[in-house]
Amino acid sequence: MASHIVGYPRMGPKRELKFALESFWDGKSSADDLKKVSADLRSSIWKQMADAGIKYIPSNTFSYYDQVLDTTAMLGAVPSRYNWTGGEIGFDTYFSMARGNASVPAMEMTKWFDTNYHFIVPELGPDVNFSYASHKAVDEYKEAKALGVNTVPVLVGPVSYLLLSKPAKGVEKSFPLLSLLDKILPIYKEVISELKAAGASWIQFDEPTLVLDLEAHQLEAFTKAYAELESTLSGLDVLVESYFADVPAGAFKTLTALKGVTAFGFDLVRGTQTLDLIKGSFPSGKYLFAGVVDGRNIWANDLAASLNLLQSLEDLVGKDKLVVSTSCSLLHTAVDLINEPKLDDEIKSWLAFAAQKVVEVNALAKALSGAKDEAFFSANAAAQASRKSSPRVTNETVQKASAALQGSDHRRATNVSARLDAQQKKLNLPVLPTTTIGSFPQTVELRRVRREYKAKKISEEEYVKAIKEEIKKVVDLQEELDIDVLVHGEPERNDMVEYFGEQLSGFAFTANGWVQSYGSRCVKPPIIYGDVSRPNPMTVFWSSTAQSMTKRPMKGMLTGPVTILNWSFVRNDQPRFETCYQIALAIKDEVEDLEKAGINVIQIDEAALREGLPLRKAEHAFYLNWAVHSFRITNVGVQDTTQIHTHMCYSNFNDIIHSIIDMDADVITIENSRSDEKLLSVFREGVKYGAGIGPGVYDIHSPRIPSTEEIADRVNKMLAVLDTNILWVNPDCGLKTRKYTEVKPALQNMVSAAKAIRTQL
Ligand code: GLN
Ligand code: ZN
């Protein structure tokens, strides 16, 4: 019985690649240094998998930045603005595409399906001169072979590559990208031939777009592409991998009929419906790569359950045709539990990071072939049982409270316009009120204070004093700028999710549980392992301290339940919505405590609400329903006079605008930096919007300082579509990453713009 890993994290157990990349970019180390660190990482990963007993070990899953960009390089599809002159693509061109350079901006980056990984979007059109311009796949294959490991080279499949690309600037939006298949397949053929010549016996094409809602002509492209590659592929075993969801019936039919393909990989963790399709009509004589070990999460596999499933699949496809695999690349999980000395043994026994998942895959394969490691299986069974029964996981009170929420609706008693009236009586704000999104610049000094407090190098007293001083500075500055609704600046927070997770029960934190987000950037999601509750108020002290420094309204600042959920590793032993409801109840307690403490404006950020949207349209309504419900639960208990704000990142809201309205917040501030048009068109088309709304009037992601005229111009554009009495004036997002030298003049201009327009109304 064989074992296979779809792909492996590249960053290294201690983010070695990140540091090597950043030092190279800063000119502090050479290209050879970077290559050396990378080669060491690759060889240790291959060796680790080989030692574990994995039969099909992937290569070319390493990347200096992104695997889709690697494919762009392989195909020589460099946009003309990078002035690439041909030949093998080097670091210069590669990193310019990824990050931009002094004279040219980077290529666009977007989310890789519903993960938190971002890929570089290919820019294609009829004029691209494709050429075989990066031999990375072949080089990596040879490199592993020289180390004694015969790997399965992995390529982003040709159809997914095109489906994930966009028309280049100047190319018509309607340009049929799939028409480029004929131009890219010759290069795929060259790569395949070289891999064959180098000794490869297997090849893997990742075609994750198969799990999306595809149209008939898109499915036909798969048929066409693989038929075209068939003769070149002959002599090789060919695996087409799908992942992240179940494969719809139509796509399954297309996939399993592909010419020249001998093996199919499926995500059986998220793709439970694929299982039915496999049982119904898996082609005989082909390999089934069964992705039973979850690549998207950090939980130890339930080995007994997986073994059962695998045994039933074995009856179906035959002993020699079943391969145990991961549900997707392990890129999306943390690297190695061995680097977590601070997690306690009980919680650790419930977890498996990438390195542990490799061992699980192998243990399952061995068990299937009759060589079951009894000790390993019984330790796993004991851990599964302890997770089920641990009092740290289950909290009856929380379970009952969240169960009681299901099936019911939670809405504030009064409608939004009546509430806005009541709030206005209390707050007495000018028209076009100004505010900010929450955080103010986080200086080196501030980070040092937090770090030293955490490391117990300074006392609580000293810490509180330092943070209070910072808040005072931020409050004074906002008064000086004459902003209407103030914030405390969030100086006590390192991260908008971690800050709350650390104060809630049911959360654990890792020391090195990093997951690549893009390029050298990684995130360290908290782990939600148990029922969530809030032992103590979390923000009341800081918010009321801040409120005591000013007569103007001070916004309480919270992270919403959906965002906390979407930016964490979530437990897999209950539905996501249940965990979300629990977090909502904890935030509800906080909202009500803030209200009691005299905070009249409370912002509940839902920065990540949109990114939780399921991949397939049929599932959107269900998600939006419980996500929006969770948000409403947090503030259903406040008085009419308490104003609830929310904030969302990304300006792409048009498709979910009705859900946003259904959140029933009093005011929403929205990122809007790149285009007013997109957002405003919704309202122009007649969507009725009665709540307060603040589409960001300038982009905080750039150091550029917007002029008063420019901001006024944007506000006026908004006023053409939105009622004067609902429009707010604010930046796009939090100011955390900016410098005071940028923030001060920008906010000054923002306030002047609002004032100037007020006089004209
Ligand atoms: N309140 C948060 C801040 O200002 C919001 C951040 C976000 O939307 N990502 O930093
Ligand atoms: Zn934001």
- In contact, 141 and 59? CB cutoff 8 Å: yes
pLDDT of 107 strictly over 90: yes
Residues with CB under 6 Å of ligand 1 are: 437-439, 490, 496, 557, 605, 607, 647, 649, 733-734, 736
User: Which residues 6+ apart lie within 8 Å of 611 measured at CB?
Assistant: 111, 114, 116, 566, 650
User: Ligand 1 atom 6: the closest Cα is on which residue?
Assistant: 734
Q: Could you confirm whether 701 is annotated as catalytic?
A: yes
Residue of 750, 651, 751 whose CA lies nearest to 697: 750
pLDDT of 678 strictly over 80: no
pLDDT of 85 strictly over 70: yes
Report the pLDDT value the prediction gives residue 686, as an integer from 0 to 100.
78
Question: In the structure encoding, which two tokens stand for residue 140, read together?
Answer: 């990596």
d(CA 469, CA 252): 61
The atom of ligand 1 lying closest to the CA of 496 is 2
Among 645, 647, 673, residue to substitute to test ligand 1 (most atoms within 8 Å of Cβ): 647
Burial class (CB in 10 A: 0-12, 13-18, 19+), 377: middle
The mean pLDDT value for 307-326 works out to 96
Crossing angle of helices 181-198 and 136-146, in 10° steps, is: 20
Task: Answer left, alpha or beta for residue 465, where phi above 0 means left and psi between -120 and 50 means alpha.
Answer: alpha
The atom of ligand 1 lying closest to the CA of 493 is 10
The atom of ligand 1 lying closest to the CA of 733 is 8
The mean pLDDT value for 372-401 works out to 96
User: Ligand 1 atom 1: the closest Cα is on which residue?
Assistant: 438
Residue of 195, 287, 276, 286 whose CA lies nearest to 233: 195
d(CA 499, CA 557): 12
User: Ligand 1 atom 9: the closest Cα is on which residue?
Assistant: 607
Percent of the chain clearing pLDDT 70 (strictly above)? 99
Q: How much distance in Å is there from the Cα of 443 to the middle of ligand 1?
A: 16
The atom of ligand 1 lying closest to the CA of 671 is 8
- For the whole model, what pTM was predicted? 0.95
Percent of the chain clearing pLDDT 90 (strictly above)? 93
pLDDT of 676 strictly over 90: no
ipTM above 0.85, yes or no: yes
pLDDT tens-digit readout, 230-288: 999 999 999 999 999 999 999 999 999 999 999 999 999 999 899 999 999 999 999 99
Among 436, 478, 496, residue to substitute to test ligand 1 (most atoms within 8 Å of Cβ): 496
Q: How much distance in Å is there from the Cα of 734 to the middle of ligand 1?
A: 4
Residue 477 Cα distances to 428, 466, 486, 538, 663, angstroms: 21, 17, 10, 25, 32
pLDDT of 674 strictly over 70: no
pLDDT tens-digit readout, 180-213: 999 999 999 999 999 999 999 999 999 999 999 9
Phi, psi of 325 (to 5 degrees): -145, 180
Q: Beta-carbon neighbour count of residue 351 at 10 Å?
A: 24
- In contact, 265 and 240? CB cutoff 8 Å: yes
- Give the distance between the most distant pair of CA atoms in the chain: 82
Stated as kind and residue range, the H or E segment containing 362 is helix 354-368
The mean pLDDT value for 649-668 works out to 89
Q: How much distance in Å is there from the Cα of 439 to the middle of ligand 2?
A: 10
Report the pLDDT value the prediction gives residue 487, as an integer from 0 to 100.
98
Question: In the structure encoding, which two tokens stand for residue 737, read together?
Answer: 């990453």
- Ligand at minimal distance from the CA of 645 is 1
Report the pLDDT value the prediction gives residue 675, as an integer from 0 to 100.
65
d(CA 332, CA 353): 10
Question: In the structure encoding, which two tokens stand for residue 463, read together?
Answer: 């810490």
pLDDT tens-digit readout, 521-562: 999 999 999 999 999 999 999 999 999 999 999 999 999 999
The pairing of strands 515-518 and 118-120 is unpaired
Q: How much distance in Å is there from the Cα of 695 to the middle of ligand 1?
A: 14
- Ligand at minimal distance from the CA of 602 is 1
Calculate the average pLDDT of the chain.
96
- In contact, 153 and 141? CB cutoff 8 Å: yes
d(CA 464, CA 47): 49
Crossing angle of helices 740-760 and 460-481, in 10° steps, is: 40
Phi, psi of 513 (to 5 degrees): -80, 55
Residue 680's pLDDT band, with cuts at 50, 70 and 90, is confident
Cα 75–77–82 angle (5° rounding)? Answer: 135
- Ligand at minimal distance from the CA of 440 is 1
User: Ligand 1 atom 4: the closest Cα is on which residue?
Assistant: 734
The atom of ligand 1 lying closest to the CA of 559 is 1
